[in-house]
Amino acid sequence: MTDELRIAMIGHGFMGAAHSQGWRVAPRFFDLPLEPVMQVVVGRDADGVRASAAKWGWAESATDWREVIERPDIDVVDIVTPGDTHAEIAIAALRAGKHVLCEKPLANTVAEAQEMTDAAAAASGVRAMVGFTYRRVPAATFARDLVAAGRIGDIRQVRAEYLQDWLSDADAPLTWRLQKDRAGSGALGDIGAHAADLAEYITGQRLTSVSGILETLVTERPLLGEGVGLSGTASSERGAVTVDDVALFTGRLESGALASFEATRFRTGRKNALRIEVSGSLGALSFDLERLNELELYDATQPGTEQGFRRILVTEHDHPYLSPWWPTGHMLGYEHGFSHQVRDLVVAIADGTQPRPSFADGLHVQRVLDAVQRSSGAGSAWTPVD
């Protein structure tokens, strides 16, 4: 292996911008064992992807991902396309001997996720990771560390929710995220996957069964005109929404503890509220992404006169990921998780170890999503995950 890792990113929309920021910034703050080189970004529209390359600092642009992944000068393929293309691109990249980073959810179906996981297992010396980036928010990682250290005792109950409101306008246009053949599912896969993964990550336990319900609140939306984006003008024609708007489900963890989940893009007034509270025999933890530099800790072992949730400002250099960043008290933001993701992937590639979350972890989350869908179709019946 050379001292460089040459990166090809497939896709260049919202997630492409976030991943580009991660690739650009990580080597400037973290002492990485290999230097990421932003070699080429790929998109279908030649003019659009050329503009993205210039804006974000990619050396070149291309329109054919199949040609790019066969290039000998490419070491890592970063996939930020809609879910219906993940499996084809990832499997081809793995078979070409490339390391792969793939955005979540891993695929649109369990069958696709299984094929991707099998391809990753068969690719000798190649690393594959799925991008559940919220694991790498320092406060969330610190919460995981506190649970693992026994600070809140035995887990008794978990509540996780991801609340957004960007679809609350019934006349918002019909984008690909609202089409099942492109996205696989709606709020469940888009943001519910994050809630499920973060709950499992922090508790160190997997969901074994679920009971859920999915609901589509607005069944038709205006179609987008040719080349019009989400913020553009929609046409007068309307098309069917084929995914869920709201997902509600309960689950049982390996220990028997109960967990409740909500994923919605209709919670008016909530912009990006990923919240999780973990209650144990000795205390509790609470995290809210809209206050991502903070973690709340409740210590039930303290005298009753001193009990109460206390705020921990997670900005100390001894907190996870924070040693190369700013002085204590200077806040991090949403984009920093992507730099941490790059750091962890590059270190794993250099060390020859499996980065987490792995494709196998992504497959498990896909099984959780599938079990929720099956449960909803069966009248919210309890449904096993694996």
pLDDT(65) > 80: yes
CB 52 within 8 A of CB 58: yes
What one-character DSSP code corresponds to residue 303?
Answer: -
One-letter amino acid at 65 equals: W
List the chain domain ranges.
Answer: 3-134, 136-355+364-377
- Under the banding of pLDDT at 50, 70 and 90, the label for residue 224 is confident
- pLDDT range class, residue 230, cuts 50, 70, 90: very low
Q: Beta strand pairing status for 4-10 and 35-42? A: parallel
Question: Distance of CA 244 to CAs 185, 186, 229, Å?
Answer: 6, 5, 21
Point out the least confidently predicted range of 165-174, 220-229, 325-334: 220-229
Residue 1 has pLDDT above 60, yes or no: no
Burial class of residue 136, CB neighbours in 10 A (0-12, 13-18, 19+): buried
Asked whether the predicted pLDDT for residue 161 surpasses 50, the reply is yes
pLDDT bin (cut points 50, 70, 90) of residue 386 is confident
Flag whether pLDDT at 226 surpasses 90: no
Fold category of 3-134 in CATH: Rossmann fold (3.40.50)
| Mean of pLDDT over the chain | 96
Listed in sequence order, the residues at least 6 apart from 233 whose beta carbon sits closer than 8 Å to its beta carbon are: 225
- Quote the pTM value: 0.95
Close Cβ partners of 177 (under 8 Å, ≥ 6 residues apart):
183, 186, 190, 243
Summarised one tens digit per residue, pLDDT across range 40-51 is 999 999 999 999
Q: Given pLDDT bands bounded at 50, 70 and 90, which one contains residue 233? A: low
Task: Decide whether 3-134 matches 136-355+364-377 in CATH topology.
Answer: no
The pLDDT assigned to 234 comes to 58
What's the pLDDT band for 236 if we cut at 50, 70, 90? confident
DSSP H helices in the chain: 14-29, 46-56, 65-69, 86-95, 110-122, 138-148, 180-183, 187, 193-203, 336-351, 359-377
- pLDDT band of residue 2 (cuts 50, 70, 90) is low
Q: What's the CATH number of domain 136-355+364-377, 3.40.605.10, 3.40.50.620, 3.40.640.10, 3.30.360.10?
A: 3.30.360.10
- The lowest-confidence range among 73-77, 132-136, 223-227 is 223-227
Per-residue pLDDT reduced to its tens digit, 79-134: 999 999 999 999 999 999 999 999 999 999 999 999 999 999 999 999 999 999 99
